[in-house]
Structure 1
Amino acid sequence: MDDFRLSTPRLEACFIFCAGQTFFEGAIFVADRHHSALLAIWISLISNIVLTILKIVAGLLLASPVLLADGVHNAGDIIATVAALTSSMVSKKPADEDHPYGHGKAEVVASAFVAVVLVLAALWIGYQSIGALFQPPGEENWLALGAAAISLVWKQALYVYTIKVGKAANSKSVLATAYDHLADVYASLAAVIGIGIGLLGDRFHWEWAAYGDPVAGIVVSLLVLKLAYEMGRDSIDILMERNVSAEKLAHYEALLLTDENVKRIDRVRAREHGHYIIVDIRVGIPNDYTIQQGHDISKQLKKLIMDYDPDVVEVMIHLNPWEAGENTAK
């Protein structure tokens, strides 16, 4: 690590300095957004419980294997939503001695868990659909179609609502819940299409139509697997502390260069920590500046980045000495 000399008022060596707002002050902003995130997850949980009961009861009463399988799938959604709710509550906890950067990654862990649940759901749907191809086709009815249609509309509304809240709050747990709803939209759409084709087949005597439901189920299982893969990959990237997008880093660098005291940019890094971002920068400033001047520059640079990106709750600044005549990184 570079020397950090407090014995001189001049910047004779490199030093690490974090100035301006503290992590706790930055976290106040995201705390308000968590209320809407928690509400969205609670609504999703209650909806999943109601839909699970309705689908399983309707599947048993109407002897509809499609609705029964969808109801079992919804039961898995309850587990996933509880995990999302728990992680969202944990992520709200402030930083402490053991977790100085906060608990934001609890949401990422929940997102990874939901991805696993989706994989299991996709395998379940695929297994049931393939098995249905080798069994005598069941008799479809309009009540089963109505139940599937209600589930489709309900889940689509939940997806639109939760994806909006998740993006606004930058909440990984709410986004995971939203994608879980999207998987249910696929499943319910397959049920509507499959049952609808079956009813048309009964009316027009299309023998092939009896297998529309399982074929649609196989397609849905592939779509859900793709969704789970994307969710899981994103969660792993965050847990491995992948850099934020190159575009966002470029914006950070552009902001730093607007300060005439910044003569060189040595490094800019940033990582997502759940629903917030932590930025780490190293810049060169004239080596004859005092520590007070360095403090003021650090404070200004931190304000620039946090004003630009409300998701940033901490900016760690390392000031390096720059001598007149050196190349600048303008």
Structure 2
Amino acid sequence: MFKGNNSNASIIAVWISLISNVILTGLKISVGFIVKSPVLLADGFHNAGDVIASCAALISMRISKRPADEDHPYGHGKAEVISSAIIAIILGMAAIYIAYEAISAFFEEPAKGSYLALLIAFISLVWKQVLYVYTIRIGKLTNSKGLIATAYDHLADVYASIAAVLGIGLSLIGDIFSIHILSYGDPFAGIIVSVFVFKLAYEIGKEALDILMEKTVVQERLNDFANLINLVPEVKRIDRLRAREHGHYILVDIRASIPGDMTIQEGHDISRKIKKIILENHHDVDEVLIHLNPWYEEES
């Protein structure tokens, strides 16, 4: 399991995300009201949802780092997956909201462009891109589902900010050159962005649901586990091999056959060998549960 500095890095990344989202929410909503920019206001309210998502990620990551106890013998790793599901729901709602606002804009008088709104949208675009690169790197390093979901939330914000920059920019160009149709560039961009955001929500939600439903890890990973088990010479056959993600770590279940004339102590030593070789080669594996079956020569 990931511990120490990696764990601290993920917590710091979420705190940075939370503080950034609070600042951006305040900036966008306040400037949006001042310059009467619907797209900036919509983006600001979207960021308000990100504040909730960041809080959920922070709380879940703290819970997931708790050690196993009597009530939770397999640890608390799935807490992060729950936060991923929450983020997926928030992103899905944001996508619907962005699409609704974009479609509604076609039936209203287009808003005037604002250089201040354009500046704030551009700052948000750059800021969120930096946050995405930073959090996705830390998230993958620590295998933190909550942080990876937060990173994709930042990516969704990048898409939304691109739409805001394009929409406000086109409005300004339309105002300057009296091209009325350009004033509707924002809703067009908004609809496209809503599709991207909804796609992200679906992917994050599907992964979270797969883990909560204890879907097995990919076959390549199982094959790797099997190859390692077969390196233990006493193992005659792998009867069953299963593995599942439990948040930021993996649990492995093994049933293997060893010579039936071996003692309990020898079987215990073989179990330790199997566990040791898997843990040494897969640092994201937290627990290896092994059941040994007797094997006899006539079975070969």
TM-score strictly above 0.5: yes
CA distance in 2: counterparts of 1:303 and 1:133, whole angstroms: 63
1:281-320 aligned at under 5 Å gives the runs 281-320=254-293
Return 5+ residue gaps in structure 2 as ranges: none
Instruction: Pick one of 227, 251, 260 that aligns with 2:224.
Output: 251
Q: Over aligned residues, Cα RMSD in angstroms? A: 1.1
CA distance in 1: counterparts of 2:3 and 2:280, whole angstroms: 14
Q: Which has the higher contact order (CA 8 A, sep 6+)?
A: 1
CA distance in 2: counterparts of 1:208 and 1:63, whole angstroms: 20
1:1-330 aligned at under 5 Å gives the runs 27=1, 29-327=2-300
- TM-score for both structures, normalised by structure 2: 0.98
Code of the residue aligned with 1:84 in structure 2: it is: A
CA distance in 2: counterparts of 1:177 and 1:148, whole angstroms: 20
SS in 1 for 2:297: coil
SS in 2 for 1:285: strand
CA distance in 1: counterparts of 2:62 and 2:256, whole angstroms: 36
CA distance in 1: counterparts of 2:171 and 2:25, whole angstroms: 23
Task: Verify the 8 A CA contact 1:87 1:106 in the aligned structure 2.
Answer: yes
Deviation, structure 1 residue 247: 0.5
- TM-score for both structures, normalised by structure 1: 0.89
Deviation, structure 1 residue 31: 4.9
Code of the residue aligned with 1:160 in structure 2: it is: V
Task: Verify the 8 A CA contact 1:31 1:92 in the aligned structure 2.
Answer: no
**Alpha-carbon distance change, 31 to 272 in structure 1, aligned in 2, over 3 angstroms:** farther
CA distance in 1: counterparts of 2:69 and 2:136, whole angstroms: 30
CA distance in 2: counterparts of 1:289 and 1:65, whole angstroms: 75
CA distance in 2: counterparts of 1:91 and 1:321, whole angstroms: 37
CA distance in 2: counterparts of 1:220 and 1:33, whole angstroms: 33
Task: Verify the 8 A CA contact 1:281 1:315 in the aligned structure 2.
Answer: yes
CA distance in 1: counterparts of 2:89 and 2:187, whole angstroms: 23
Deviation, structure 1 residue 259: 1.5
Code of the residue aligned with 1:243 in structure 2: it is: T
Aligned position for 1:16? none
CA distance in 1: counterparts of 2:44 and 2:181, whole angstroms: 26
Code of the residue aligned with 1:254 in structure 2: it is: N
Code of the residue aligned with 2:13 in structure 1: it is: A
Return 5+ residue gaps in structure 1 as ranges: 1-26
Deviation, structure 1 residue 216: 0.4
CA distance in 1: counterparts of 2:4 and 2:256, whole angstroms: 30
Larger deviation, residues 108-117 vs 200-209: 200-209
Larger deviation, residues 138-147 vs 234-243: 138-147
Bigger radius of gyration among the two: 1
Runs of 4 or more, structure 1, over 3 Å off, are 29-32
CA distance in 2: counterparts of 1:260 and 1:207, whole angstroms: 77
Deviation, structure 1 residue 206: 2.5
Aligned position for 1:4? none
